[in-house]
Amino acid sequence: MTTTNDPRPAQPGRPPVVDAATWQAARDELLVREKAHTRAGDALAAARRRLPMVEFDGTVEIVGAGGPVPFLDLFQGRDELVVYKHMWWDGAPHQGQCEGCTTTAWSLRDASYLNARGVSFAVLTTGRWDEVAPFLDFMGYTQPWYSVRSIDGPAGGDMGHLTAYLRDGDRTFLTYSTTGRGNEPASSTFGLLDMTPYGRREAWEDTPRGWPEGDHACWYWRTDVDGHPTWGPTGRPVPQWTRPGVTPEDTLGRDSTG
């Protein structure tokens, strides 16, 4: 059953109201562009698989819940490994840790499907293990985390990256690394927001006139206890408010003294 065009004008900041046939025609036109975008992504993935790789020392020791282990252990016997490199602020309270890294790590709490395809997953950070461990308990993370403090090169290096590795026996290789918006595939939230009428509501987006005004990028990653976005003194990374016993904090703080 189809409907006729609504004679009432569209409300400000709303898409126009049309009948089902008109909507379907517009949807079909967009689908052509979406399929081209998908094929372009497939071509990029094919090029990514053809990148060269860099060998590094897989015996370098990193620190996890069980103490020091060689980097090679992160593969858990599998041939492929993906890690997220989580930024860390020394001495900061839980609410003072990176909201962007929290977003990514929170979206990667289960690696079952990666494991099923022969890919292991872990989170690396430069934090001291005695600080990292209570943060993991607070957040309820169960995926493997390790400290790569003072480790340079492919096993450590810059944080805020998604990085892929390959193992050949006891040899380990860096194959790919990305950061910034390259990390978005780790979080389904971005793709789902892009499907909604208002998108991410970030100022850089191309939106029709009259739509809700965009804010700075990532404005919704940190909120106060009432759910209001804020980067002020009472804000926390959004997932932290779901943790049992969480209460408002007096200071955001990048160190224990605020």
pLDDT tens-place string over residues 192-228: 999 999 999 999 999 999 999 889 999 999 999 999 9
What residue has token string 């940190």?
222
The whole-number pLDDT of residue 258 equals: 40
Contact 148, 128 (CB under 8 A): no
The whole-number pLDDT of residue 13 equals: 86
Sign of the torsion formed by the C-alpha atoms of 73, 87, 127 and 225: negative
- For the record, the structure tokens of 123 come out as 């989170």
Q: Encode pLDDT of 147-188 as tens digits.
A: 999 999 999 999 999 999 999 999 999 999 999 999 999 999
pTM above 0.85, yes or no: yes
76: pLDDT strictly greater than 60:
yes
The whole-number pLDDT of residue 252 equals: 65
In the predicted model, what is the mean pLDDT of residues 101-129? 97
Q: Which of 101-105, 125-129, 147-151, 231-235 has the lowest mean pLDDT?
A: 231-235
Please, which pLDDT band fits residue 85 given cuts at 50, 70 and 90? very high
Rounded to an integer, what is the distance from CA 157 to the centroid of its chain? 18
Q: Encode pLDDT of 125-139 as tens digits.
A: 999 999 999 999 999
Residue environment code for 198-237, b if the CB has 16+ CB neighbours within 10 A, otherwise e: ebbbeeeeebeeebeebeeeebbbbbbeeeebeeeebbbb
CATH entry, 51-184, from 3.40.640.10, 1.10.3720.10, 3.40.30.10, 1.20.1530.20 = 3.40.30.10
Domain coordinates in residue numbering, the chain: 51-184
- Looking at every residue in the chain, the average pLDDT score rounds to 92
The whole-number pLDDT of residue 232 equals: 83
What residue has token string 């409300």?
11
Contact 44, 178 (CB under 8 A): no
Dihedral (Cα; 232, 102, 165, 55), 10-degree rounding = 40
